[in-house]
Amino acid sequence: MTSNNKYPGSVARGIPHDEFLDCPTGLVEYYFADETFRWSDGLYRIYGYERGDVVPSMEMALPHIEPEDRPKVQAYWERVAAVGGPLSIYVSIRDRKDQQHKLLFSADYILDGSTPVGVWGVIVDLTQSIHTDRHQLATEAVAASALNRAAIEQAKGILMGRTGIDADRAYELMNKMSQDTNRKVHAIAHEIIERTTAGSDGPT
C-alpha cells in the first residue's frame, strides 16, 4: 500500500526545527498493519540513544516514562489510534543516563487517502526552555528584591534625616503606612523617594 501521509514532514526528512524552535525535536511513525514504530534521529537522541542502539517500541519506551505518567500515556496513545487527532500531552521521561526531560507530544493519523493507516507524532523537548524560563524568573525576582531593599534603605534614610528618628523607627513608620494603605513596604519606600525627588514633602 502506498501511503499518502497527511502531515508536515516525515521521519526521513525531519523537521528544520533549529530555525524556529530552541528545543530538540523528534518524530515517530506507527503503522497499524505491521505494528512497527519508526523514530527520527532526533527522537533517539532525546532518549539518549543513537539509531541502531535499540528497536523502538512501546515496551522499550514505557520504562523511560516517569511512573506517574505511564497510565495517561497509554490512554493517550490508545485514543489517538482510535479517533485520530491532533491531540497533545505533556510527559516526563528519564533518558538513558537518567536525566529527566519534559516533553510535549502531539499526534494525529497517518492517512492513505481518507483511510487511517497509522499514527504520527512530533515530540518537543521543553526541558531547556523550562529551565531557562525558571532561571530568568528567579534572576528577575532576585534583582527586584535587591532594588526594593535599596529603595527601603533610601527611604529610611530620608525619614531619619527629616525627623531625627532612628532606622528601626523609620521602618516601623513605613510598615504602619503599608498596613494602613494595604500596600507593600517597598511601594511606600518608592513613593517617599519620588516625593522627595520631586521636591514635595514626604509622608508624615
Q: What is the pLDDT of residue 167?
A: 84
Same domain, 25 and 118: yes
Same domain, 136 and 56: no
Is residue 202 domain-resident?
no
Integer Cα distance of 5 and 179 in angstroms: 64
Q: What is the pLDDT of residue 122?
A: 86
Is residue 2 domain-resident?
no
Confirm if 30 and 119 have CB atoms less than 8 A apart.
Answer: yes
Is residue 12 domain-resident?
no
Same domain, 98 and 167: no
Q: Residues near 91 by Cβ (< 8 Å), separated by ≥ 6? A: 65, 66, 69, 73, 102, 103, 104, 105
Same domain, 120 and 181: no
Give how far the C-alpha of residue 138 lies from the chain's centroid of Cα atoms, to the nearest Å.
14
Same domain, 156 and 115: no
Q: What is the pLDDT of residue 5?
A: 45
Same domain, 81 and 178: no
Same domain, 140 and 120: no
Q: What is the pLDDT of residue 48?
A: 93
Backbone angles phi, psi at 57, to 5 degrees: -165, 165
**Which of 90, 109, 125 marks a domain boundary?**
125
Same domain, 23 and 116: yes
**What pTM was computed for the model?**
0.53
Same domain, 163 and 85: no
Domain tally, the chain: 2
Integer Cα distance of 49 and 43 in angstroms: 9
Q: What is the pLDDT of residue 147?
A: 74
Same domain, 172 and 94: no
The domain in which residue 180 lies consists of 132-197
Q: What is the pLDDT of residue 56?
A: 92
**Which of 125, 143, 161 marks a domain boundary?**
125
Same domain, 121 and 164: no
Q: How many CB atoms sit inside 10 A of residue 159's CB?
A: 23
Same domain, 88 and 26: yes
Which residues make beta-bridge pairs with 60? none
Beta strands in the chain (DSSP E): 25-31, 36-39, 87-94, 100-112, 115-125
Indicate which CATH number applies to the domain containing 61: 3.30.450.20
Ordered per-residue pLDDT tens for the chain, 204 residues: 434 444 444 443 344 443 344 578 888 899 989 888 999 998 999 999 999 999 999 899 999 999 999 999 999 989 989 888 788 888 899 999 999 988 888 888 888 888 999 998 888 888 876 655 555 655 555 556 667 777 888 888 888 888 888 888 888 888 888 888 898 888 888 888 888 877 654 444
